[in-house]
Structure 1
Amino acid sequence: MNENNQYLTFSLAEEIFALDISSVREVLELASITRIPRTPPYMRGVINLRGHAVPVLELRRKFGMPPVSDTVNTCIIIVEVEMGGDTTIIGTLVDSVREVFEMGQDTIEAPPRMGTAIKSDFIRGMGRQGEHFVIILDVNRIFSAEELAEVSATAPAPVGATAPEEARA
């Protein structure tokens, strides 16, 4: 059975990457990002997403690519990441979002051993979109459990959060 999956494609530098659409919650225009002191270099800060502080991570820095200035095309992809059996919401800063496309599972090749800007541990596979190769990322493997725990610990409480019931009594 040939199963087609949908992927959201985006660019970092000259490379095209993709995330399984099932892990993507939404795509946002670049918003005001509040920096948090003493965080890893790849953590840009947090944004207010409907009353919740969501950490925003720069994939360029995480992948060891040189940083660039934000442009009108810079976007934040909000993704769900599995962390210790729980789902964590994070924002990933990318140069631009391209499109959603379908790709048959049988057309995805194994990750290459070398020749990409990122470690192959993060790569689910390689696909093609027209004449271009697409690096399909595994969002649950981009950041280690320790990195996600560190990011979660730095995110402030949700905006407008109230004290637990016991504390209000």
Structure 2
Amino acid sequence: MSGIQATKTTEVLTFDLRGETFALEAGLVREVLDVTPETAVPGAAPFVGAVINFRGRVIPLADLRLAFGLGRAETTIDSRIVVIEHDLGGEPTLIGLRADKVHEVTTLNRVDSEPPPSVGMRWRPDFICCLVKRNGEFIVVPDLEQIFTTRGGATGASGPFNLS
């Protein structure tokens, strides 16, 4: 997320994935939805293996847990879908992201961020923009561009989402 590194502070939406706290730049977030019916897409990469109806539009549903090797999780009363608008290949694209729980919109400070360590991480460091320390705990800021380029196109499609 270049916003945290480019300015002194950035507003983010914080959410949980399997007990870890993640953050997305608030400007990317279009809406937070209760879990909605989804349609599996045969042959799609598991990371983007379904689509949902969002205000009459079909959008891909991505699972960042799979990108980070956290495995699938059961849907609970706290589960949500965070709809973001992310630039993919020069096109603004709506994407649903699964979240185990959505917390709040808050401000993160650049001085509290640091790059992921090159050793000792259980996740791919190139999938993380930075870690931000807040209240004694780390918040993971994912690199959506790297994740969607690497994980979304795993089936050999020309674009990040092979949904056709």
**So what's the TM-score if we normalise by structure 2?**
0.84
Offset of 1:145 from its aligned partner?
A: 7.0
Change (3 A) 1:30 1:114: farther
TM superposition shift of 1:36? 1.4
Q: Separation in 2 of the partners of 1:84 and 1:108?
A: 28
Letter in 2 for 1:124: C
Q: Which residue of 1 aligns with 2:27?
A: 22
Q: Which amino acid aligns with 2:13?
A: L
In structure 2, distance between residues paired with 1:40 and 1:88: 18
What is the Cα-based RMSD across aligned positions, in Å?
A: 1.9
Instruction: Trace 1:12-161 onto structure 2 (pairs within 5 A).
Output: 12-144=17-149, 147=152, 149-151=159-161, 153-154=162-163
Secondary structure at 2:46's aligned position in 1? coil
Q: What's the counterpart of residue 3 of structure 2?
A: none
Residues 30 and 142 of structure 1, relative CA distance in 2, 3 Å threshold: same
> What stretches of structure 1 move > 6 A for 4+ residues in a row?
none
- TM-score, scaled to structure 1: 0.81
Distance in 1, Cα, partners of 2:118 & 2:26: 25
Aligned to 2:45, the other structure's residue is in SS state coil
Question: Structure 2, unaligned stretches of length 5 or more?
Answer: 1-6, 154-158
What CA distance in whole angstroms lies between the structure 1 residues aligned with 2:60 and 2:135? 34
Aligned residues between the structures: 153
